[in-house]
């Protein structure tokens, strides 16, 4: 048994980055609207530490609206090549502007312009319209820095539960559950598969 699920995640994540052929950072993000209707999609992990697991999106997107209405989420990493999963549940909070700016600056110029061009999750009349909008913005930003749009931000899931699942023969899988204790710290339990 380990006392710190973040250290165990760091170890598993490093192994996944070495073994997974595509996107070890890919995680399913499940949110729900104010009425409790669930929604799930794949996003990329862009940072993790003891505070939680960070990703970035347009706050006016469907997921951004769901986060504003119901700031709780579940994450799932599935590393098929390692036959492992990590499930995380917790509350959501925005990253600060400095952190969002710093991450946005690491994106390619084209991706930064794409963030300005996209009305994420809104109906799109045609692909040609989107591409023309993107090209117009390429011209507008020519020779200039591309700042983070005001509607583009990061969110962090502060974990309350982290489950590590390992495939075992005969469906006798191993499930290790870490639960945030009141006042901090973690308790660890085993779950039946």
State the catalytic residues.
171
**In degrees, to the nearest 5, what angle opens at C-alpha 179 toward C-alphas 187 and 22?**
120
Residue pair 64/78 in contact by the 8 Å Cβ criterion: no
Distance CA 104, CA 160 (A): 27
The H or E element containing residue 109 is helix 109-117
What span, in angstroms and rounded, lies between the C-alpha atoms of 126 and 155?
A: 30
**Residue 104: other Cβ atoms inside 10 A:** 19
Cβ contacts of 185 within 8 Å, gap of 6 or more: none
Specify the residue for token string 């609206």: 65
């Amino acid at each position: 048994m380990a006392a710190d699920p973040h250290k165990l995640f760091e170890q598993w994540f490093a192994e996944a980055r070495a073994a997974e052929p595509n996107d070890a950072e890919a995680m399913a993000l499940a949110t729900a609207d104010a009425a409790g209707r669930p929604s799930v999609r794949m996003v990329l992990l862009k940072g993790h530490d003891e505070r939680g697991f960070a990703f970035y999106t347009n706050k006016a997107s469907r997921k951004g609206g769901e986060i504003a209405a119901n700031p709780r989420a579940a994450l799932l990493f599935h590393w098929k090549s390692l036959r492992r999963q990590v499930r995380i549940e917790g509350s959501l909070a925005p990253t600060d502007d400095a952190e969002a700016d710093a991450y946005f600056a690491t994106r390619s110029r084209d991706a930064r312009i794409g963030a300005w061009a996209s009305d994420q999750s809104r109906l799109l009349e045609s692909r040609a319209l989107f591409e023309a909008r993107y090209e117009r913005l390429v011209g507008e930003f020519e020779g200039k820095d591309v700042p983070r749009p005001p509607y583009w931000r990061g969110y962090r899931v502060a974990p309350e539960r982290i489950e590590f699942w390992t495939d075992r023969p005969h469906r006798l899988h191993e499930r290790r559950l870490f639960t945030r204790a009141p006042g901090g710290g973690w308790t660890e339990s085993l779950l039946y598969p």
